[in-house]
Structure 1
Amino acid sequence: MSNVTNPNRWTLRAALAALAFSTAMGLSAAHADSITVYTSYEEDEIAAFLEKAKADLPDLDVNVLRLSTGDLHARILAEAANPQHDVIWGWAVTSMIDPRIGELLEAYQPQGIDRIADQFRDKDGKWFATTGYMAAFCVNNEVLKAKNLPMPTSWADLTKPEYKGEVVMPNPASSGTGYLMIASILQMMGEEKGWEYLKALDANIAQYIKSGSRPCNAASEGEFAIGASFALRAIKNIGEGYPITMVIPSEGAGNELEANALMAGSKNKDAARRFLDWTVSENAVNEYYNWKEIVTATGGAMPQKFRDAGLPEDISSVMWKMDFASSAENRALVLERWQRELER
């Protein structure tokens, strides 16, 4: 990796158990605008999106800190008295609508915001969602065959005794994907039956993994039969040749929107607004479609590889209609109970 002072290269560096991405685009740092962005996008998504941003914003330095959804939530609140970033980018709406977070945001309507339907925008203009993701299972075909296991089709299937020790899923306390799974199950089944189900599922869980993508990777590599993850990770791993099938649970896929916002405490608001404008630009939207099963902006088209992996053209047909306000309001109580009764 080249040194960050080289204006034509980007570097990736470790930072506090996260990945920080630094870009020095076009002009020298001495003459370029600079912003710090916090995100929960996956590392490969960040790299692809910022490659496009580099071409469109050659005079903007973008320093990015990536943390999982839960860890980023804790960090932003811990820094509330002295925010260290200018922009929140690609972060779960369920976390964004926390009133404590809302107090730290400044309303901004970026150029091109009309491409985003009202249902994906905060009524007060403090955030707008451009992308999203939904739950899916990564099922290893070879492990199923070797152990003579049936293909699961639903959340209900995962509690069957034959899958004991063969299921891994994200830890909802740290992973946005993990929390959307728990929240959607409780919304689908109701609180009492939902918790009964989660306890039955826990009996078959081999591990709760911190990341939303790693359960799919573990299943893809044959460590377990089933990794509860998100659809795009399954699609990516199928494209890379792993022997897995993507299964969207028949009850409906829990989902999350990923939103962007301007920090009220930013000292670089003009540059931050330029970046937020870019996040709804045509080039940004076209790139989102290479990585995201949910893109809220008009324009672009679902890639063929998504359809080949089993994603329907109308993804709304398989998505559970999430109550994001309920997910946010009950998050602390749900996670406290989950950690008390199920975390290990």
Structure 2
Amino acid sequence: MKRFLRHSVAIVLGLGVMSAAHAAGKLNVLCSADLEWCQLMKARFEKESGIQVSMIRKSAGESFAQIQAQAKNPQVDVWWAGSGDAHLQAAFENLTQSYQSPLQSQLQPWARVFATVAQNRSVGIYQGVLGIGYNENELKQRNLPAPKCWKDLLNPAYKGEIQIANPNSSGTSYVALATLVQLFGEDKAFAYMRSLNANISQYTDTGVAPGEAASRGESTVAIEFMHDLIKQKVAGFPIAVVPACEGTGYEIGGMSIVAGAKNLDEAKRFYDFALRADTQTAAVDAKAYQIPSNAQATVPPQAPNVASIKLVNYDFAKYGSPQTRKHLLQRWTSEIYSHGN
């Protein structure tokens, strides 16, 4: 009898362990922020929730392409971070599903408006401003003027000195493309980019690569989000960061639950976790200097001062639509990229 009881207790304990493991669950996340911030989010969420997170870092364009390709058999539950235009296209194509977090009322107006445009298939988690960065040492050695405006980058003296990402793979660069179109009009924007093409040394795959190259002295000028450039500056590299004088665009970093997510309860827990003020405040620990969407979160002191920057009235509904994105990317590929530099 005692042996039977001991055996029964062992079975119960075993089932209890299995039940606890099942309750903890698992979660598959695509992360389109810097790797360091991705790792911080994974570690904090796993420690707090006990949920096992499988996280892969990809740029916004690459993440969208993966979710689109896996639409019939989703392998991802949550897509966290990355420029909102790509998140909106996923929303408009019904690749993501609606979820309204109880924390949504704590968010900045721009984050709530973004969620409304996405029909709650995505939500804003941070704001990032597009800028120009340059290596001050390299600029002096080459006796080049410091760029302050978009038009300055057309100076023939910058031939082979500028890097920007490919907008087909990079959300950062798509924001730059959409920004120029909104500033100058489509035809004039493409005329500008054709002229700029002569000064581009490389169209990189990721949005952060141009700033990293400029920091190492492999190039001189980078077109990139200011928070990524500021990260290089804080790390001790001789990077100066300016918003373009004519005006500049901005991103709203998105977060979306993938339609057909296999771990939906865990996905919602992560969603709520990512919108919390304390979670967003902790981003600075990963040297992330974006402006948080939760109004109660602490804005990093290094973050761009949006009040002093001339911003375009960025039309997220238009430039996040599949039709507009497809049109602009196809035109950029045929008129700019295919002609080399």
Q: Tell me if TM exceeds 0.5.
A: yes
Shift in CA distance, 28/225, structure 1 to aligned 2, threshold 3 Å: farther
1:305 aligns with 2:302: yes
State the identity as a percent: 30
- Partner residue in 1 for 2:254: 259
1:335 aligns with 2:329: yes
User: For 1:304, what is the secondary structure of its paired residue?
Assistant: coil
User: For 1:139, what is the secondary structure of its paired residue?
Assistant: strand
- Partner residue in 1 for 2:16: none
User: For 2:56, what is the secondary structure of its paired residue?
Assistant: strand
Contact 1:120/1:296 (<8 A) preserved: no
Shift in CA distance, 141/39, structure 1 to aligned 2, threshold 3 Å: same
Contact 1:49/1:287 (<8 A) preserved: no
Shift in CA distance, 313/67, structure 1 to aligned 2, threshold 3 Å: closer
Shift in CA distance, 198/156, structure 1 to aligned 2, threshold 3 Å: same
Letter in 2 for 1:112: L
Runs of 4+ in 1 over 6 A off after TM superposition: none
Q: Tell me whether 113-122 or 99-108 shows the greater mean CA deviation.
A: 99-108
Following the alignment from structure 2 to structure 1, what is the Cα–Cα distance between the partners of residues 99 and 198?
46
- Partner residue in 2 for 1:88: 79
Task: Give the one of 178, 182, 185 matched to 1:187.
Answer: 182
Could you state the TM-score of these two structures normalised by the residue count of structure 2?
A: 0.85
Following the alignment from structure 2 to structure 1, what is the Cα–Cα distance between the partners of residues 65 and 187?
28
- Partner residue in 2 for 1:10: none
Following the alignment from structure 2 to structure 1, what is the Cα–Cα distance between the partners of residues 257 and 175?
24
Contact 1:53/1:284 (<8 A) preserved: no
Shift in CA distance, 327/188, structure 1 to aligned 2, threshold 3 Å: same
Deviations 1:265-302 (A, max 9, x none): 12221111111111111221212455132322111233
- Partner residue in 1 for 2:105: 114
Deviations 1:148-205 (A, max 9, x none): 1111001110001111111111111111111111110011000121111111111111
Structure 1 gaps, min length 5: 1-26
Letter in 2 for 1:332: K
- Partner residue in 2 for 1:41: 33
Deviation at 1:318, TM superposition (A): 3.4
Following the alignment from structure 1 to structure 2, what is the Cα–Cα distance between the partners of residues 180 and 294?
17
Contact 1:96/1:102 (<8 A) preserved: no
Q: Tell me whether 115-124 or 208-217 shows the greater mean CA deviation.
A: 115-124
Contact 1:255/1:322 (<8 A) preserved: yes
Task: Give the one of 93, 96, 115 matched to 1:105.
Answer: 96
Deviation at 1:263, TM superposition (A): 2.5
Following the alignment from structure 2 to structure 1, what is the Cα–Cα distance between the partners of residues 295 and 250?
19
Deviation at 1:39, TM superposition (A): 2.4
User: For 2:275, what is the secondary structure of its paired residue?
Assistant: coil
1:73 aligns with 2:70: no
- Computing the radius of gyration over CA atoms, which structure comes out larger, 1 or 2? 2
Contact 2:126/2:291 (<8 A) preserved: yes
Following the alignment from structure 1 to structure 2, what is the Cα–Cα distance between the partners of residues 304 and 70?
29
Deviation at 1:29, TM superposition (A): 5.6
**Would you tell me which structure has more helix in proportion to its own residues?**
2
Contact 2:135/2:220 (<8 A) preserved: yes
Deviations 1:123-143 (A, max 9, x none): 532221111322122211111
Following the alignment from structure 1 to structure 2, what is the Cα–Cα distance between the partners of residues 219 and 91?
22
Task: Give the one of 270, 274, 277 matched to 1:279.
Answer: 274
Contact 1:136/1:248 (<8 A) preserved: yes
Structure-to-structure mapping, 1:205-224, within 5 angstroms? 205-224=200-219
Q: Which has the higher contact order (CA 8 A, sep 6+)?
A: 2
Deviations 1:11-63 (A, max 9, x none): xxxxxxxxxxxxxxxx9866631011122112111112233323432x11111
- Partner residue in 2 for 1:15: none
Following the alignment from structure 1 to structure 2, what is the Cα–Cα distance between the partners of residues 78 and 192?
32
User: For 1:332, what is the secondary structure of its paired residue?
Assistant: helix
Letter in 1 for 2:307: D
Q: Tell me whether 217-226 or 282-291 shows the greater mean CA deviation.
A: 282-291
Deviation at 1:242, TM superposition (A): 0.7
Task: Give the one of 40, 51, 61 matched to 2:43.
Answer: 51
